[in-house]
Structure 1
Amino acid sequence: MAPVVDYSQREMEIKAFDQSKAGVKGLVDAGVTKLPTMFIHPPENLLGSSLPEDDERLHKVRSLRFPVIDLSGFDCSESRKEIVEEIKKSAGSWGFFQLVDHGIPLGVIEGVQRGIRAFHELPQEEKAKWYSRDFAQKVNFFSFHGDFKVTTPADWRDTLSCKVLEDPASFEAIPQICREEVRRYMKGIDGVMRKLSELLSEALGLGSDYLATTRCFNARSMACHYFPICPEPHLTMGGTKHTDLGFLTLLLQDSVGGLQVLHQDVWIDVPPVKGALLANMGDMMQIITNGEFKSVEHRVLLRPTVQPRISIACFLSTDDLDRPYGPIKELLSDDNRPIFDRVIFREYMKKYKL
């Protein structure tokens, strides 16, 4: 029988936690050795699969190679055709793929990882300046997202959120300790985004500039996550299962690992690759491609590590929040009828209370 949760006790824990403005790292710094009840997830949330461990299909799915796509042949016509086919297959089956040789120098990648770690490891009183649950701010530091409820177990992580990064002035709001590192990294992300915009368009059988004309990658924001060392990692999660609501996410993870993707009803580990970026399709991409590209659930399990985990998610989406988006008409036919309604992104974001 599942344990009874005392929600009044959890509500008091959450209130005290929020008022401290110290985040999850503040608990670690205070020497916590047992998880507060607000972080404890039910065991079924932590399962790797609904299939029994001796199931043949389970082992077959786990043995699959996670897609890795090398962009070094982007400017070569023959290599580009192969890249487009790999993207079409990966986006349609996994919804995720690793990108290597994407054009962002390793020094820039390691620099932004150091910068984000440095922010999260600032003294508590320094970070508190940015602590806010006002998600309309261009920059805020928080631990629970806007849709968090007292009935929902909390995830073991802190986040520095940086929004409206298509506006150069927005960078001035970012903490100085990581500002230039973020600026350089986002310049690299812009280059990767332009390549992927063309390649994804071609993978749909459209002109290479098609997705660019829809403005679906014009808005950029970042969620810079820090997962402190957890005293009881088997009882909680770094990120509850979810899909991303935008068009495309580019994720940078460090060597600690823990990210999993749901593939054929089995949670698959995404192996960290030094310098690689992870690309994943969001809900809006699934909508406009009429399901040809998949937005799939993913989550973060915590490892019993000796160092915190860093991940940096860059969300690419539309800058026209009132524009309706629906299945691309060029993809539709009598044999491929629309399976999604048109969506106004501003309304869709309310699902996440953003």
Structure 2
Amino acid sequence: MEAIIESLGIIEGNQEKETEGKDENLVKELKDGSQMMVANLYPPCPEPDLTLGMPPHSDYGFLTLLLQDEVEGLQIQFQQKWVTVQPISMAFVINVGDHLEIYSNGKYKSVLHRVVVNAVKSRTSVASLHSLPFNHTVRPSPKLIDEANPKLYADTDFNSFIAYISSKEPKRKDFLDSRKLTSP
């Protein structure tokens, strides 16, 4: 996250960590934030074209670290097409989540992804989802908003997310879309 914040120009590399603003405290808040581990087992499916292991969605938080076995299944949407992410042994896949897209005011994009099943092999993955504490409000960094770059997303929190998914069947990036103020 420090590298991401630096890439956004919010803090400079090797800068003394002062407590002058919330952006510099984001890394600390993430350390004290929420983490959820999810283990997935996708058994072989004799008719894989009739089902999905996981429907298209983006992750709610800041970052997701995914460890997958050698069986293909994870796909991301790129230029309106589904692209299979080739598994690399003992490597993590890092997914940008909705919170990072909001915080970066759209400079980083959350990843629309899904999982397809395999006809002959089972697939196992472990995801570690990282975000701010549940009582924290996520908003675009004020350092990324000016006249040329207006605020693109409404502030949000975990209660807004729970209310949204309780009222609708979550699909694709619907929650993130519900937070957009203007089109980029």
Q: TM-score range by the shorter chain?
A: 0.7 to 0.9
Q: Which residue of 1 is the match for residue 10 of structure 2?
A: 206
Q: 1:271 aligns with which of 79, 86, 98?
A: 86
Q: In percent, how many aligned pairs have the same letter?
A: 35
Asked whether 1:249 is paired with 2:64, we answer yes
Question: Any idea what SS the aligned residue of 1:252 has?
Answer: strand
Q: Which residue of 2 is the match for residue 323 of structure 1?
A: 136
C-alpha deviation, 1:278, in angstroms: 0.6
Asked whether 1:309 is paired with 2:123, we answer yes
Give distance in 2, aligned partners of 1:292 and 1:229.
38
CA shift in 2, pair 1:349/1:200, >3 Å:
farther
Q: Which residue of 2 is the match for residue 23 of structure 1?
A: none
CA shift in 2, pair 1:351/1:216, >3 Å:
farther
Give distance in 1, aligned partners of 2:2 and 2:138.
19
Give distance in 2, aligned partners of 1:323 and 1:249.
18
Give distance in 1, aligned partners of 2:35 and 2:126.
13
Question: Any idea what SS the aligned residue of 1:216 has?
Answer: helix
* Correspondence 1:1-354 to 2 at 5 A: 197-207=1-11, 210=24, 211-213=26-28, 215-217=29-31, 218-305=33-120, 307-319=121-133, 321-353=134-166
Q: Which residue of 2 is the match for residue 8 of structure 1?
A: none
Amino acid across the alignment from 1:342: D
Amino acid across the alignment from 2:128: C
1:245, 1:349 within 8 Å by CA — same for their partners in 2? no
Give distance in 2, aligned partners of 1:199 and 1:283.
18
* Between structures 1 and 2, the one with greater helix share: 1
2:75, 2:116 within 8 Å by CA — same for their partners in 1? yes
C-alpha deviation, 1:347, in angstroms: 2.2
CA RMSD of aligned residues (A): 1.6
Consecutive unaligned residues of structure 1, counting only runs of 5 or more, are 1-196
C-alpha deviation, 1:349, in angstroms: 3.4
CA shift in 2, pair 1:279/1:198, >3 Å:
same
C-alpha deviation, 1:216, in angstroms: 3.5
C-alpha deviation, 1:335, in angstroms: 0.6
Amino acid across the alignment from 2:138: Y
Question: Any idea what SS the aligned residue of 1:284 has?
Answer: helix
Question: Any idea what SS the aligned residue of 1:343 has?
Answer: coil
C-alpha deviation, 1:198, in angstroms: 1.4
* Between structures 1 and 2, the one with greater strand share: 2
C-alpha deviation, 1:201, in angstroms: 1.2
2:43, 2:117 within 8 Å by CA — same for their partners in 1? no
Consecutive unaligned residues of structure 2, counting only runs of 5 or more, are 18-23, 167-184
CA shift in 2, pair 1:350/1:225, >3 Å:
farther
Amino acid across the alignment from 1:337: P
What's the CA shift string for 1:273-311, capped at 9, x where partnerless? 011101111111111111011012101111222x31001
What's the CA shift string for 1:90-141, capped at 9, x where partnerless? xxxxxxxxxxxxxxxxxxxxxxxxxxxxxxxxxxxxxxxxxxxxxxxxxxxx
What's the CA shift string for 1:179-223, capped at 9, x where partnerless? xxxxxxxxxxxxxxxxxx21111111122663314x135221111
Question: Any idea what SS the aligned residue of 2:86 has?
Answer: coil
